[in-house]
Amino acid sequence: MTNPQRRPLIAGNWKMNLCLKGSVALVRALADGLSKPFEGPEILVVPPFTALSVVSEALKGSPIQLGGQNLHWEEKGAFTGEISPEHLKDAGCTHVLIGHSERRQYFGETDATVNKRLKAALKAGLVPVVCIGETLAERESQKTYRVLETQTTGALQGLQAADLKTLVIAYEPVWAIGTGKNATPEQAQEVHLFIRKLLAHLSSETIAREVRIIYGGSVKPDNIELLAAQEDIDGALVGGASLSAESFIKIVNGVKKG
Ligand code: 13P
């Protein structure tokens, strides 16, 4: 991360883990464990929907921000089981994950629905963290770049250049998620550079320089430093290691200031 225009972001995606008590305990431990005054990367936690309000309350006065794991594109109505942009904002969220590979794999998420969610998030003033990534089979059959190009163009369809500025892209190779096998810093850098060039092509060089592209997939305290030192890696989306205050703080502290 060498571009001062992009402040690194470390986000913890808790997925379907922790209930209220555990969620509050975790964010309290995080807030207590950060150096004060805190001058490191931007920090985001992304708990399950049910914990958003209590976590938001517990985070008051700390630099840690709050995100939802998904959102629906409609503002309200008969969409049983869905969460609207307004629900997220009402619960204290500033960010939202969109198109996580687990949603693509298990819940029928497509590039078209990612695009709708992304537009809804931007309209509501939420910072979207759009996830893209190839499977192992796609990587092994040399389709990585084609897949990422399709996912990125599909997600960004119809967006204006100004919209792209607030966007965060999370490159999460599916084969690295929850497997303990992270992409090497060089592998990840190569892909991040590809995504940045694609963004330049889809918008402009200036915008592409400003968009943060973070890496996710088995990020741990012992690999964050080398990953985050890569020129086009602007932070991390952390799963398993974000469920322990100790390891998440080590990851936060492993990132140099932007
Ligand atoms: P792990 O860090 O557990 O591999 O999960 C990554 C991820 O999917 C974050 O969104």
- Residues 208, 164: Cα–Cα separation, whole Å: 8
pLDDT value at residue 5: 81
Buried b (16+ CB within 10 A) or exposed e, 142-174: eebeebbbebbebbbeebeeebbebbbbbbbbb
DSSP 226-253: HHHTSTT--EEEESGGGSSHHHHHHHHH
SS3 call for 224: helix
DSSP 16-64: S---HHHHHHHHHHHHHHS-SS--S-EEEEE--GGGHHHHHHHTTTSSE
pLDDT value at residue 256: 74
DSSP 76: S
Ligand 1, residue 220: give the atom nearest the CA.
2
Q: Whose CA is nearest to atom 1 of ligand 1?
A: 239
Q: What is the pLDDT along the chain (258 residues), one digit of tens a residue?
A: 557 789 999 999 999 999 999 999 999 999 999 998 999 999 999 999 999 999 999 999 999 999 999 999 999 999 999 999 999 999 999 999 999 999 999 999 999 999 999 999 999 999 999 999 999 999 999 999 999 999 999 999 999 988 998 999 999 999 999 999 889 999 999 999 999 999 999 999 999 999 999 999 999 999 999 999 999 999 999 999 999 999 999 999 999 755
Query: Is 201 designated active site?
Result: no
Residue 233 Cα to ligand 1 middle (Å): 16
Q: Are strands 9-13 and 168-171 parallel, antiparallel or unpaired?
A: unpaired
Query: Which of 100, 134, 138, 192 is an active site residue?
Result: 100
Mutate to test the pocket of ligand 1, among 15, 238, 243 (most ligand atoms within 8 A of CB): 238
Pick the CATH number of 9-16+39-253 from 3.30.420.40, 3.40.50.2300, 3.20.20.70, 3.90.105.10: 3.20.20.70
Query: Is 172 designated active site?
Result: yes
